[in-house]
Amino acid sequence: MSNEYDLAVVGGGTAGLVSAFVASSLGAQVVLIERARVGGECLWTGCVPSKTLIKSARVYEAVKRAEEFGVHVEKPRLVWGAVRMRIAAVRDEIRDLERAEIQKAGFEIVQGTARFADASTLRVQTANGERVIDARKIILATGSKARLPDVEGLQDAGFLTHETVFDMPNLPRSFVMLGGGAVACELAQAFARFGRKVTILQQSDRLLPKEDAEISAACEKLLQQDGVTIHLQAQTQRAGRDDDKKWIEFTSSDGKTQTVRADEIVVAVGKEPDLGSLNLAAAGIGSDGKGLIVDDYLRTSAPNVWACGDATGKFLFTHVAEYQGKIAAQNALLPLKAKADYRVVPWTTFTDPEISHLGLTEDEARQAGGSVKVYRAPFKELDRAIIEGETTGFLKVVTSGSGRILGAHIIGPAAGELIHSFVPAVRDGALLQEMAEAIHVYPTLSEIGHRAGNESYKELLGSKLVQWALKRII
């Protein structure tokens, strides 16, 4: 059976769905091919379940702090089964919203595994046999999967990843996390707050190595306060299991060999593109170790095939997948091409408090050359943070010598929301003093940017040139 479509999208995660929505809205005949569950990693094993778990951990921690706010409660009790039920309920609610949008869009969905026969033909293995799909244009949005380290004995010992950790029938008493990125830090803190013993083994010399160094150090202190044991520069050697425990043998920063035992091992050392079944060679599509090779317009080496989302290996975030999905669909179907622009990509690690990143870190700005200034505003001096009892953390703004904002980095309450006020500022090259000149509602957490702007504003008013001019005017 052969079918001709204007566009075939392979992969039903965020990037694929957005591509299909955009293409359908343009009037194209679209088919979306998904081998497992529509919604992809974000819905089933990523953002949605992890942030739901984190919310439960935050509530549990807030209840334990209730006395600080004049509220007396009996000793709280964690019910893991109820936490899992809420994760499932949240997934279902968001899935139903997606299904409603798909029904409105009206594109066809085929359940099966796709592989290229040639650059315009896909063979899809479905439950009922093979189906041949011909399409003028194709978008690949096959996502990513957990990257597994080459550690002797790890497979035999058994482990969890972000793809399986939310399906644990019972909550183990102890965990060892391999990795120190966002996933490891988020899960480590959540499980520690649930009263579990958690150890992080991080190969790098700091947690969250893509963050500003000050932010990484603050995150390490934060997790330690929650009871997480952290080993940096830990080189994992072997893994195994005894009768009742799993274990990891590693070399610590001082060169000594140590062993940590836990009920469960969680592997969180990163992700890699999921391209295995596509038969890319048949379509003449190139890839490297990071993902599919695409140009600035998200076109692959095959002229009628585009790619978006984690499969490209560029910024493995749901919000970037959405952005790329729009561009890929537009470029596949419209004569006027849009160029992907990654100059201003924010991201957030959802620890408590949250950690957000935008633009250049201080080290990156100094390495780029030119004069660099740094401004900080602590939450402990912000009225709304004091009111909320959430005073941990700070905002750090990196500017050029002239005051143009190059980067903003936050560890503090609602950092994931606050970072967005800096997105247009970094994109448009705004001056930090403009944050002082803008009126902010009082009392709000967003005033933290206003506070940093005030520091730049006071510096400007205190300059010799301004003081000389004021004396002349007076």
Distance CA 217, CA 235 (A): 20
Residue 465 has pLDDT above 90, yes or no: no
Supply angle C-alpha 453, 456, 462, rounded to 5. 140
369-404 tens-digit pLDDT: 989 999 999 999 999 999 999 999 999 999 999 999
Buried b or exposed e, range 140-165, using 16+ CB within 10 angstroms: bbbbbbbeeeebeebeebebbbbeeb
Q: Does residue 117 sit in helix, strand or coil?
A: strand
What is the pLDDT at residue 456? 83
Q: Write the CB contacts of 408 (distance below 8 Å, at least 6 apart in sequence).
A: 356, 358, 359, 395, 396, 397, 398, 419, 422, 425, 426, 449
CA atoms within 13 A on the CB side of 248: 31
Q: How far is it, in rounded angstroms, from Cα 382 to Cα 398?
A: 20
CA-to-CA distance for 167 and 108, rounded, in angstroms?
30
139 neighbors 10 (Cβ within 8 angstroms): yes
Helix (H, G, I), strand (E, B) or coil at 377: strand
Can you give the pLDDT at residue 73? 94
Classify residue 283 by its DSSP letter: G
Contact present, 163 and 13 (Cβ < 8 Å)? no
Check pLDDT > 60 for residue 1: no
How much of the chain, in percent, has pLDDT values that exceed 90? 92
Q: If pLDDT is split at 50, 70 and 90, which confidence band does 463 have?
A: low
Give the tens place of pLDDT for each residue, 205-263. Answer: 999 999 999 999 999 999 999 999 999 999 999 999 998 899 999 999 889 999 999 99
Structure tokens that stand for 368 in this block: 């780029």
pLDDT band at 461 (very low <50, low <70, confident <90, very high): low
For residue 229, with 0-12 CB atoms within 10 Å meaning exposed, 13-18 middle and 19 or more buried, which class applies?
A: middle
Report whether the peptide linkage leading into residue 353 is cis, meaning its omega lies within 30 degrees of zero. yes
111 and 38 in contact (C-beta within 8 Å)? Answer: no
Question: For residue range 413-425, what is the model confidence (pLDDT) as tens digits?
Answer: 999 999 999 999 9
Report strand pairing: 271-273 vs 144-146.
antiparallel
d(CA 292, CA 213): 31
* Predicted local distance difference test score (pLDDT) of residue 241: 96
Cis upstream peptide for 443 (omega within 30°):
yes
pLDDT of residue 243: 82
Three-state DSSP class for 126? strand
Average pLDDT in the chain:
95
CA distance linking residue 404 with residue 401, whole number of Å: 7
| Tokens 């990843």 -> residue | 161
Compute the distance between CA of residue 344 and CA of residue 359 in angstroms, rounded to an integer. Answer: 6
Please report the pLDDT score of residue 65 as a whole number: 95
Give the pLDDT confidence of 82-141 residue by residue, as tens digits. 999 999 999 999 999 999 999 999 999 999 999 999 999 999 999 999 999 999 999 999
Q: What pLDDT score does 92 carry?
A: 97
Distance CA 184, CA 177 (A): 6
Distinct helix (H) and strand (E) counts, the chain:
15, 21
Q: In the structure, what pLDDT confidence band is assigned to residue 468 with cuts at 50, 70 and 90?
A: low
Structure tokens at 32: 């979306």
Cα 324–chain centre separation: 15
29 falls in which pLDDT band (50, 70, 90)? very high
State the pLDDT at residue 467.
60
C-alpha 446/C-alpha 388 separation (Å) is: 13
Residue 411 confidence (pLDDT) above 90: yes
Is the per-residue pLDDT at 300 higher than 80? yes
Q: Which percentage of the chain shows pLDDT scores above 70? A: 97
DSSP output for 169-213: SS--SEEEEE--SHHHHHHHHHHHHTT-EEEEEESSSSSSTTS-H
Q: How confident is the model at residue 464 (pLDDT cuts 50, 70, 90)?
A: low
Q: Which domains does the chain have, with CATH numbers?
A: 2-146+272-333 (3.50.50.60), 154-269 (3.50.50.60), 353-465 (3.30.390.30)
For the segment 42-90, what is each residue's pLDDT rounded down to a tens digit? 999 999 999 999 999 999 999 999 999 999 999 899 999 999 999 999 9
258-269 core/surface letters (b: 16 or more CB in 10 A; e: else): eebbbbbbbbbb
What integer pLDDT is reported at residue 3 of this predicted model? 61
Question: Which band of pLDDT confidence, cut at 50, 70 and 90, is reported for residue 466?
Answer: low
Mind listing the pLDDT tens digit for each residue in 151-171?
A: 999 999 999 999 999 999 999
**What's the pTM?**
0.94
DSSP 296: T
Q: Judge contact between 307 and 141, C-beta under 8 A.
A: yes
Phi, psi torsion values for 258, nearest 5 degrees:
-130, 160
